[in-house]
Amino acid sequence: MEFLRLICAILLCSIVTGCNNGSSNGSRHSAEEDENSITDTSLRRNVTFAPVSVIKGAINHNTTDFYVLNGATMGFHHDLLRHYADSRGREIELEIINEDYDTIRSLLQNGKCDVVAMNSSPDYGDTTIFHSDPIIHNDIVIVTPRVKDATTKELIAGRYVSVKKGSRAAEALNRFRDTCGYPFFIVELSSSVTSEEMFNDVMKGVFAGTANYRHKARTACYRMPGIGITEKIEESAPICWEFRSAEARDDFNNWLKEFKAKGNVAYLYRRYYRNREADHIIRYGQIYSPRLSEYDEIFKRESRVLDWDWRLIAAVAFTESQFKDTIESAHGAYGLMQIQEVAATQFGVQDYFRADSNIYVGVRYLNYLDNMFAKYIENPEERIRFTLASYNAGYGHIFDAMRLAKEFGYSDTTWSGSVENFLLIKSEPQFRESAAVRNGSCDGKQSVDFVRRVLRSYRSYTQTKKME
């Protein structure tokens, strides 16, 4: 009986092949053997790790700055922040903000975020906020209903024009009214109102016009042919980010100069603001839909087995396959959840090439791992990290890392800053010979990155897609 249990454990651990680079596939020991071994007496040694640095950023959710499309997180400001963080070896945590500017800036002043990665203009009178160098320059324009041969005066004189309160566009619109020679009324809306909503109001006739940056107006006109740009009211306005400290601002400026010189900012601008008309129309409908993928209903149904938020399971699937249900890895893992034949057989599934059965097997393996680590890790959120790492690497490698953490005086039940670090180094010669390492070499970076990417996608999904 004990032999059969050991064989089952070996089969299950082979589902995902992320760390099979050494002499062992990470599944040599059963869960019972690992449970006994990780309770050994700790031997404190002089091993230290630098903490993982995180950039906390505030960002808008809209069709250009930050959005989720087909499971992927995208957007001009999102991608720019991601490139910057990657260049500094840092992670990012995003807070989606659609609030007034005072609320946004209070996040910086109170230390709740490090950078506001949005369209911002320098306010040289506020010494508590540190603005970056201009990322891009863009005109501010008035958008009105599209009427052939009509002038801006004919379209807005004596009528109401909307603009975001406290914005650079509001300043430009007020200056324009003072000099244009005809009257119109300015309605300053809360900054929590999105640009898309303001453009929609113009199309519906709620307002005669609205003022905004040209790049946002252009993308709106792609989607709504009933509106158009009729007047430029400020030329080449600077668009910056806001930072909590001068040091962070200066570091970003130094990086931005090099990033621009390589043509990368220009590339991102073309990608998100000068894309084809059809892309913007499709993007708008998908971004504001609560749907993540065509497999959402299967994720929701299967999530009841594991008692996880279905969007977390979706994040696993996207990280494994980008929601491509026919993808096959070099190791023979197949489908949305990258399932191997031995795992499908273990859970009584023959046709694991279908999306529903593929998810069925993946969820049950995740549940198996979650139950295994429940013996050691009481905190459900912490246990998720161990479960995800095991799904990618094989649980034998994770138990190796736990034993190493214990041996060197670190917590063997804490992932971040502890077990994940030992997974990264367990294949190095000075650790590979330790008695704690029983499952050979492992590409720990791949598995650590897998956990981070899954959780990063999940956070984005929870902020942009409603739970149903």
Q: In whole angstroms, how far apart are CA 169 and each of 113, 194, 237?
A: 25, 14, 9
* Burial of 334 from C-beta contacts in 10 A (0-12 / 13-18 / 19+): buried
pLDDT top residue among 39 and 129? 129
Residue type at position 251: D
Position 88 confidence tier, pLDDT thresholds 50, 70, 90 = very high
* Cβ atoms of 314 and 454 closer than 8 Å: no
pLDDT per residue as tens digits for the range 141-199: 999 999 999 999 999 999 999 999 888 999 999 999 999 999 999 999 987 788 889 99
Per-residue pLDDT at 4 exceeds 60? no
Decide the pairing of beta strands 115-120 and 227-243. Answer: antiparallel
Per-residue pLDDT at 120: 83
What's the sign of the alpha-carbon dihedral 212, 217, 223, 226?
A: positive
* Cβ atoms of 355 and 325 closer than 8 Å: yes
Q: Could you give all domains of the chain from N- to C-terminal order, each with its CATH number?
A: 2-50+293-464 (1.10.530.10), 137-239 (3.40.190.10)
User: If you compute the radius of gyration of the chain from its CA atoms, what whole number of angstroms results?
Assistant: 26
Per-residue pLDDT at 6 exceeds 60? no
Q: How many residues does the chain have?
A: 468
Per-residue pLDDT at 99: 61
Of 415, 437, 411, give the one whose Cα is nearest residue 426.
437
pLDDT per residue as tens digits for the range 93-108: 888 876 666 777 788 8
Per-residue pLDDT at 273: 86
pLDDT per residue as tens digits for the range 300-344: 999 999 989 999 999 999 999 999 999 999 989 999 999 999 889
State the Cα–Cα distance between residues 85 and 248, nearest whole angstrom. Answer: 12
Position 33 confidence tier, pLDDT thresholds 50, 70, 90 = very low
Phi, psi of 83 (to 5 degrees): -60, -40
Question: Taking the CA of residue 233 as centre, how many other CA atoms within 13 Å lie in the half-sphere pointing to its CB?
Answer: 26
The mean per-residue pLDDT over the stretch 367-380 comes to 95
State the Cα–Cα distance between residues 420 and 444, nearest whole angstrom. Answer: 8
Please provide the distance, in angstroms rounded to a whole number, between the alpha carbons at the two ends of the chain.
Answer: 43
Measured from the Cβ of residue 128, the count of other Cβ atoms closer than 10 Å reads: 9
Per-residue pLDDT at 323: 96
Position 444 confidence tier, pLDDT thresholds 50, 70, 90 = very high
Q: What percent of the chain clears pLDDT 90, i.e. is strictly above it?
A: 62
Residue type at position 290: P
pLDDT top residue among 431 and 211? 211
Per-residue pLDDT at 50: 59
Structure tokens at 257: 């100069």
Q: In whole angstroms, how far apart are CA 190 and each of 167, 230, 404?
A: 10, 24, 53
State the Cα–Cα distance between residues 461 and 218, nearest whole angstrom. Answer: 27
Question: Taking the CA of residue 432 as centre, how many other CA atoms within 13 Å lie in the half-sphere pointing to its CB?
Answer: 12
Per-residue pLDDT at 2 exceeds 50? no
Per-residue pLDDT at 279: 62
Of these ranges, 18-22, 32-36, 57-61, the one predicted with the greatest mean pLDDT is: 57-61
Does an H or E element contain 220, and which? helix 214-223
Per-residue pLDDT at 5 exceeds 50? no
Per-residue pLDDT at 232: 96
Per-residue pLDDT at 207: 98
pLDDT per residue as tens digits for the range 238-279: 999 999 999 999 999 999 999 999 999 999 999 888 876 546
Per-residue pLDDT at 231 exceeds 50? yes
